A and B are shown apart, each in its own frame.
Chain A
């Protein structure tokens, strides 16, 4: 770092150093570390930790079978025997919550990955090729964006059936257009930058141009959108389950557990508390992480600093 400075003193470059502020580090790993250090990021990680610990350690310490009915233990409050209590069929809520956690993490994650992959591909294609292709792709995107998200998701799982895979598909599809729009907008911005032109003149072919120059340039806003979409994706997933479009009955699933608890809310409030707590913690965690990621990577901030 100091070698150029030493030279700068010799040939008068020292003056430029004052004018050119050092921009923030664009490398992903450094940005992730900055997210972990950000107050909101810390808080998010703190919230997500107990849920992850529960999901990993739970099956090892809880002996109850999440789907086994125990007629003698119905509607029990939290106790040493049943930590989170039992439901109207005597199933252990701790075991059920623990077995349901992977779904509420993997489904939003899978859906967001699907949406960001598909959306970026479409958006980059539209922004890079322009012309009629762009108009067709963006018209389709606008149609998808105009449809109410939850209803579209219900339509998809209604037609194809529930289960993790179809929920990922449904949520992925309703989240696709927002990524398409971001990818297209950022591509339009980046494709005109001098370094992209320079790459063209250096003989870089279109595919390499997109992978080496455009994709890194548009990755920050997409990544920010990913993290922000995780929490709403989780909400959509639990809403689908709550409405009965999630998994077949014996399977434990937080949305359906909440729906079940409605009839017993005065008699056995603990039936609602443990699934609701997990959902709340995860959403708070994702939102806080999203805030941190946005602060660290937001293209506006980065642009002000000269990165983009």
Chain B
């Protein structure tokens, strides 16, 4: 999957396709009874995406991963921080999507049915980026047929309406449209989550194939850590608007170490009934904190199985803790021991 292996830090700034510098998106709540609260959908995120890599972003619903994706493609302007594309700073206030053609950034959405205009034929929708480039009709039709073929759809779909397609076909058509303008980067926002399992696998494989044939980067956003693992060169784990763990390189040998990442991974079932039955699933307790009223200190401490008094006071930095990843946790790398101790403590106390 990996093509141009970026060499650690040397010259990384120059070749980064996209860099987020302290990007925040805070939504102010309006209206009666909401008391002018602020939702911190994305809070001070630093992130670099290099040419030729697939970045996975994983996190639960409402953790800000979709908002982060929208910032990356330019549909959402950050309320603080900078988006730097190939070394060039994106204007702070701009019409949503004004940068899209220059940057060559596209997005594929979770809602496959909603991502195609129901009043227009499939061919028309796929050709939209081409039409905006001023391509002539015969050439456009040629290209649309080529795209349909690439995403594994029959030519006959070109004249059909989205309502006549299945969910998987709709998502393939949306992918074809995203590919039409030969993009540099596609943000896949839960792109397969609404499809059933067998179709998910097909679409994921299709995306992998496409990335091998085209010079395109992906940002793969999902709540499904297994799918993210399958797709990505590098994984970023988000919790309540912040990146709590960021891999520098994805070698499958070194596991994620943030307690939240470990919890996410432990939720993935193992396809072996014997192992699955004996396996220790970490189940989170405690209330899901709200993005309007963030917990003090580490924002995960209210649910963290190994939380210590320190965690409620000091917010951990996203610091380099190992060769391969940066983690925002005071006790990174000590999870197993502390978790065992915590469990022994509770059982000991009650028994």
Interface, chain A (partner B; CB < 8 A) = 1, 3-4, 7-8, 11-13, 15-17, 19-20, 22-27, 193-195, 197-206, 212-213, 216-217, 306-308
Do the beta carbons of A25 and B163 come within 8 Å of each other? yes
Partner of B166, one of A8, A202, A217, A307: A8
In addition to A200-B100, A203-B133, 12 A-B residue pairs with Cβ atoms within 8 Å of each other are A4-B164, A7-B154, A16-B167, A16-B196, A194-B111, A195-B117, A195-B125, A197-B96, A197-B107, A201-B106, A203-B181, A204-B132
The smallest C-beta distance from A156 to any residue of chain B, in angstroms, reads 36
Do A202 and B132 form a contact, CB below 8 Å, given A4-B169, A15-B199, A194-B109?
Answer: yes
Query: Within 8 Å CB of B164, what residues of A?
Result: 1, 4, 22
B19 at the interface (CB under 8 A from A): no
- When C-beta atoms are compared, the residue in chain A nearest to B105 turns out to be A201
Q: Which 7 A-B pairs have the closest CB atoms?
A: A200-B97, A23-B163, A194-B115, A16-B166, A194-B109, A202-B129, A216-B119
Distance of A27 Cα from B196 Cα, bound (Å): 29
- When C-beta atoms are compared, the residue in chain A nearest to B101 turns out to be A203
Interface CB pairs A-B, < 8 A, 28: A1-B164, A4-B153, A4-B154, A4-B156, A4-B160, A12-B198, A13-B169, A16-B166, A16-B169, A20-B165, A24-B163, A26-B118, A27-B161, A193-B114, A194-B111, A194-B114, A195-B125, A197-B96, A198-B107, A198-B174, A200-B75, A201-B73, A201-B107, A202-B100, A202-B132, A213-B117, A216-B117, A306-B163
Do the beta carbons of A27 and B132 come within 8 Å of each other? no
The smallest C-beta distance from B303 to any residue of chain A, in angstroms, reads 31
Distance of A1 Cα from B159 Cα, bound (Å): 10
The smallest C-beta distance from A21 to any residue of chain B, in angstroms, reads 9
The tally of CB-CB contacts under 8 A between chains A and B is: 127
Within 8 A of A (CB), among B84-113: 95-97, 100-101, 105-107, 109, 111, 113
Do the beta carbons of B156 and A3 come within 8 Å of each other? yes
Query: Within 8 Å CB of A213, what residues of B?
Result: 117
Interface, chain B (partner A; CB < 8 A) = 70, 73-75, 95-97, 100-101, 105-107, 109, 111, 113-120, 125, 128-129, 132-133, 152-154, 156-157, 160-161, 163-170, 174, 177-178, 180-181, 195-196, 198-199, 202
Query: Within 8 Å CB of A197, what residues of B?
Result: 70, 75, 96-97, 107, 109
Do A22 and B163 form a contact, CB below 8 Å, given A11-B152, A193-B114?
Answer: yes
- When C-beta atoms are compared, the residue in chain A nearest to B163 turns out to be A23
The smallest C-beta distance from A66 to any residue of chain B, in angstroms, reads 46
Do the beta carbons of A13 and B166 come within 8 Å of each other? yes
The smallest C-beta distance from B187 to any residue of chain A, in angstroms, reads 9
Do the beta carbons of B119 and A202 come within 8 Å of each other? no
